Amino acid sequence: MNLVTRCPACGTAFRVQREQLAAHFGTVRCGKCGSAFNGVAALVEEGTEKLALEPSPQLGLFDPSRRPAQQARSDLEDVPLPAFMAEEEEPSRRRWWGWLLLSLAALAAFGAQIYRIRTEMTVVLPESRPMFQAICRVTGCTVPLPRRPQLLKIESDDMQDDRDRQVFVLHALLRNNGAFPQQFPDLELTLTEGGKPVTRRVLRPADYLDARSAPKLIASGIEARGEEAVRVYVDARGLRASGYELCIYPHDCVKRAKK
């Protein structure tokens, strides 16, 4: 970037470069009248007036004994730089802030992605669950247990008719074949008569687990390779049913004959 400085003695203007001014603390000698002057203090903005530009002034041809380097440096520090000399620093500052904002945005996006797949991460890395739970205690979120219905199985089931209380009693044994704890599944129970559905209901874990222990069981889930017995009472008043279907919702149901 070329700059323009004016000799204060004869008024002659010269083109100079930043490197030339920095070489001897801004001190130059006029190539026309021979006067030494501070080229930084004498800078002018090109375009404010018509300038008769001469060749560059002689640089560094001053007598050090009459103008010590320390004094020249002090004079230069006292003179504020024109605004157009500092304009090149602004893009660098803007770039720094731009990179900072981009880095923060990338970090936030990465954190959001980790939060979204937190349950899957506890499947791959079970030891990460305590870390996520500690974070959620602070932020107010939760770390749901994994839900893999294809790894759950109804090991056995049986339904009996309790005529005294006019209810059907369903007993079933659920097994988790996964290598990690997971949520209790939803069960779909369909009562049938002559092979045709009479009534159908989707049972949530709170519907078929014992009311006193349900909150704790739901929070801990079915342990890895573990089994859990469930019992469900179905109001039989007004119903004629000789069979039922039970499945892990929404997976396949297996027809059973009610005993």
Residue 144 lies in a domain: no
Residue 26 lies in a domain: yes
Q: Would the pTM of this model clear 0.75, i.e. be above it?
A: no
- What value does the mean pLDDT take over residues 138-163? 87
Mean pLDDT of 3-9: 84
Strand, helix or coil at 33? coil
pLDDT over 60 at 138, yes or no: yes
Q: Are residues 128 and 53 in the same domain?
A: no
Q: Does position 66 have pLDDT exceeding 50, yes or no?
A: no
Same domain for 252 and 157, yes or no, is yes
For residues 106 and 74, membership in a common domain is answered with no
Is 35 within the bounds of a domain?
Answer: yes
Residue-wise pLDDT for 181-193, tens only, equals 899 999 999 999 9
Containing structural domain, residue 7 = 2-86
Residue 32 lies in a domain: yes
pLDDT per position as a tens digit, 196-252: 999 999 999 999 998 888 999 998 899 999 999 999 898 878 888 888 999 998 766
Tokens of 95: 């770039």
Q: How far apart are CA 12 and CA 41, in angstroms?
A: 15
Clarify whether residues 115 and 182 are in a common domain. Answer: no
pLDDT at 173 over 60: yes
208 located within any domain: yes
Token duo for residue 77: 């520090």
pLDDT confidence of residue 226: 94
Pick from 28-37, 110-119, 227-236 the range whose average pLDDT is largest.
227-236
Q: Are residues 106 and 28 in the same domain?
A: no
Indicate the number of domains in the chain. 3
Shared domain for 12 and 41, answered yes or no, is yes
Q: E strands of 69-215, at which residues? A: 152-162, 167-176, 187-193, 196-203
pLDDT band at 63 (very low <50, low <70, confident <90, very high): very low
**Residue 97 resides in a domain:** yes
Residue 105 located in a structural domain: yes
